[in-house]
Every structure is written in structure tokens, then in C-alpha cells.
Amino acid sequence: MGATVLRWLGRADYEPTWRAMQRFVDERSPGTPDEVWFLEHPPVFTLGMNARPEHLLAPGDIPVVQIDRGGQVTYHGPGQLVVYPLVDLDRARLGVRALVEGIERAIVATVAEWGIEAVGRRDAPGVYVGSRKLASVGLRIRKGQSYHGLALNVAMDLEPFHRINPCGHAGLEMTQVSELGGPAGLGAVADALAPRLLAALGLEPAPQSATSTWRQAVSSL
């Protein structure tokens, strides 16, 4: 199957990152290793392909970007760990449902390390603690390749979520790792999540990604 490369992108603007994912899918060959990108975005609302405009309540000065993933509207901002698995699903022998459930299982297992009891939901993809949402999942599959991914709230300003109906659900409350007893640092959460995500998706890390050194330098797109 080949080893999977982990990349730490630091804080990266949304649209150039999205375009870079599209290029990666367009240009990869059957032998191209899978990659998983870890990063955070400046404040932005993103609308999925089927997003209804009425779920965008009052964006104010935060940019709004219409994109090509599934799902409705969500918010990205500093203090949220965003992870983009760029995976050849045929090679990994993963269906779309298995990919979504693997992402959810990895998040649940990660936050359990800090005593947080979370669950995935079949009726509304993502990870929840009680009635509050901790992480969102939104994907695009093109040419058998996945892109977009997950957004895990770590230590961020949750106020912009009140300007939307998150993922199309009016009144849905959000929560985050740091408020539930977990760490506030994105690096600590990324280090805990990365091996669990690879294991949940049946992926092997590349040698440089098998230890915590993968985050020591910010990768360029």
C-alpha cells in the first residue's frame, strides 16, 4: 500500500489549501503515497455543495467560501485542529462509510485519553459529547481519492458558530477539548490523533511520520 506522509502546515489560509488538495488529487499517480495534512485556518465559514443559504445567519466580517465537500455550513478558525486525509480509497480498501467511521473512531479514542466520553452518530456525521458537537466531518471523493476531512475544536473562540446553523442544525451547541479537560495546544492534540487516525484507516506512517518529529518543520504546499 505504501507509507503515509504526515504534514504539519501550521496556520494556512483556507482557499489556497483547498486548491492544493484539488491539485494533489488531480496530479497524483497510482504510486503516489497518501498524505494527511494537519493545520489550522484563519476565520472562515465554508459552505458545502448542498448547503442552504438560510443556515448562514449573520457572517459579519468573516469570509464565506463555497466549496466542493459534502455537508452544510461550518466554521474554521484559530485553535481548531483541521485534518485533511488525502487517501486513495481503492488502494486502502476503504469505502466512504468506513472512512467516515474511521475518522470518528480516531477522534473518540484520542479524546478518551483525557477522560472525555465522546461518540460518533450515524444520523449526523461528526463527534459529540452529550448533545454538543466536538468535531465535524466533511469529505469529497473524486477519482477514488478523498480530500477535505475533519475539524476538531481544541481551544478556539466558539462565538462564530452562533452566526450559523452548524452543519445545518439550528441551535446546535459546540464544545471543545480544552473546555472538557483536555489540552489547549494543537500540537499535543495532533500528536495524539495522528497515530490513531492512521490505525483507524489502516494506513502505515512513513518513517519520518512515525515519531513526533514530523511536526518540527512547517510543510509548504
Catalytic residue among 6, 25, 82, 167: 167
Can 167 be counted among the known catalytic residues?
yes
- 3-state SS of the chain is CCEEEEEEEEECCHHHHHHHHHHHHHHCCCCCCCEEEEEECCCEEEECCCCCHHHECCCCCCCEEECCCCCCEEEECCCEEEEEEECEHHHHCCCHHHHHHHHHHHHHHHHHCCCCCCEECCCCCCEEECCEEEEEEEEEEECCEEEEEEEEECCCCCHHHHHECHHHCCCCCECCHHHHCCCCCHHHHHHHHHHHHHHHCCCEECHHHCCHHHHCCCCCC
Phi, psi (rounded to 5 degrees) for 211? -125, 175
Residues with a known catalytic role: 167
